[in-house]
Amino acid sequence: MSGAPPAPLLVVEDAHCRIPTGRGVVAALGGVDLTLAPGEILGLVGESGSGKSTLAKLLIGVCAPGAVTSGRVVLDGTDLERIPREQARRIRGRRMGIVFQDPMMALNPVVPIGRQIIEAPRHNCGISREQALAEAIELLDQVGVPEPRRRLLHYPHQFSGGLRQRITIAMALACKPDILIADEATTALDVTVQRQILDLLARLAAERSLAMIMVSHDLSVVAGRTHRTAVMYAGRIVECGSTEQVFDDPAHPYTRALLDAILRLDRPPHTRLATIPGSTPDLARLGEACAFAPRCAHAVDCATRPAPPVALDHSGRALRCHYPLGREH
C-alpha cells in the first residue's frame, strides 16, 4: 500500500465574508483556502483584525448578523453550504467544537454550568438528561475541575478565570467533535494558567484524536504545539506551511515582521523591540493591490499591481506575495 496522506477532514475553498456597517461593507474575509487533516493541529496567527476569529466563526456558522458569505466549507466530504441550514447546523454542532477567548462571554451568568454543558449533546445528539449529566461530570473531571458532581450546580461567577475556561473546553467537547477550534482561548489568562490550558488542549487532542485549529495573535502559543501554521493578514492567508518551515524560514515579509517583533531572551540587553510600521488596513477600504504593501520594507511596485494569487513554492508552502524572502524573482 502507498503512504499517501489521508484525505482532508476539512476543506475551505475561496471563503468570503462581507459585513455591512455604517462606514461601508467590511471585507472581513477575502478568499480563504485551507485544509485540515484528521488529527492535525493547525495554528492560525496574525494581528488583531486580520480575520482569524471571523474565519473560526464562519466554520461553525455563526458569522455576524447581516454578513454575506460565499465559498465552500466541506466537512468530511459534505459541503455544508449546499445542504439545508438546519442540517448543516446539526452537523456542525456534533462535529465541531469551539472554545472562545473570554469564558465570561461564552458562559451564561444566570444558568448553572451543568445545564450549559448538557444543552448541546441533548439537542444535537439526542441523549437523555441522565446520560448527558453523567458525561458532563466525566468531562469536568477530565479538564481538571475539582468536585465535578457538586460543581455542576454552580454558576460561572463562582469559578476562577482558569476554571471557567476549563468549563468552556468541556462544553466544546460535550458532543465528541472531530474538530476543536480554540479561538484565542488563553488571551484573558495569566501566563501560568495559560500554559496549563495549552497543555490541557494538547493532551485532549492527542487522547481523543482531535483535529484542532489553534487561533492566536501570539506566535509563541502555536510554536512547538502545531503541525502547520497559517498566517493571516487583511482577511487572507498570506503564508501557510509546516510550523517548522514558517518559524525557521519565513517567506512572507509579514511573517518575518511578526517573528522579529517577538521578545527574545537571547538578544543583548536593551535591544529595541522591533515593530511593524503603520497599522492594519481598513477592511472597508481595501483596494485591489497587496494589502501589506504600505507596511512592507520589500515592496517595490506592489502598491500598483493587483494582489498576488496564492502560489506554492518548491517545498509545497502556500504563499501570497510578489517578492517572497530569499527567493529569486
pLDDT of the residue at 315: 79
Q: Which amino acid is at 66?
A: G
Residue 52 domain boundaries: 10-248
The answer to whether residue 1 is domain-embedded is no
Could you tell me if residue 275 is left (phi over 0), alpha (psi between -120 and 50 degrees) or otherwise beta?
A: beta
pLDDT of the residue at 2: 45
Both 119 and 25 in one domain: the answer is yes
The answer to whether residue 2 is domain-embedded is no
Both 75 and 97 in one domain: the answer is yes
The answer to whether residue 269 is domain-embedded is no
Calculated CA dihedral for residues 206, 90, 240, 77, nearest 10 degrees: 100
CATH number, residue 74 = 3.40.50.300
Both 201 and 295 in one domain: the answer is no
pLDDT of the residue at 267: 78
pLDDT of the residue at 150: 95
Both 210 and 296 in one domain: the answer is no
Both 312 and 168 in one domain: the answer is no
Contact 23, 285 (CB under 8 A): no
Please identify, among 189, 215, 248, the residue that sits at the C-terminal boundary of a domain: 248
Both 175 and 320 in one domain: the answer is no
Residue-wise pLDDT for 88-104, tens only, equals 999 999 999 999 888 88
Per-residue pLDDT of the chain (329 residues; tens, 9 = 90+): 445 567 899 999 999 999 999 889 999 999 999 999 999 999 999 999 899 999 999 999 998 889 999 999 999 999 998 999 999 999 999 999 999 888 888 899 999 999 999 999 998 888 999 999 999 999 999 999 999 999 999 999 999 989 999 999 999 999 999 999 999 888 777 888 888 988 999 999 999 999 999 999 888 889 989 999 999 999 999 999 999 999 999 999 999 999 988 877 777 888 888 889 888 899 999 889 999 999 998 888 888 889 888 988 877 899 999 989 876 54
Q: How many domains does the chain have?
A: 2
Query: What are 323's three cell numbers?
Result: 517578492
Both 244 and 258 in one domain: the answer is no
Both 39 and 80 in one domain: the answer is yes
Please identify, among 182, 216, 248, the residue that sits at the C-terminal boundary of a domain: 248
Both 310 and 170 in one domain: the answer is no
Both 90 and 238 in one domain: the answer is yes
- In 3D space, the residue among 74, 60, 64 whose CA is nearest the CA of residue 14 turns out to be 74
pLDDT of the residue at 176: 93
Both 255 and 221 in one domain: the answer is no
The answer to whether residue 283 is domain-embedded is no
The answer to whether residue 282 is domain-embedded is no
Q: pTM of the predicted model, to two decimals?
A: 0.92
Burial 243-277 (b: 16+ CB within 10 A, else e): bebbbeebbbbbbbbbbeeeeeeeeeeeeeeeebe
The answer to whether residue 268 is domain-embedded is no
How do beta strands 228-233 and 41-45 pair?
parallel
Both 88 and 180 in one domain: the answer is yes
The answer to whether residue 271 is domain-embedded is no
The answer to whether residue 33 is domain-embedded is yes
Please identify, among 199, 222, 248, the residue that sits at the C-terminal boundary of a domain: 248
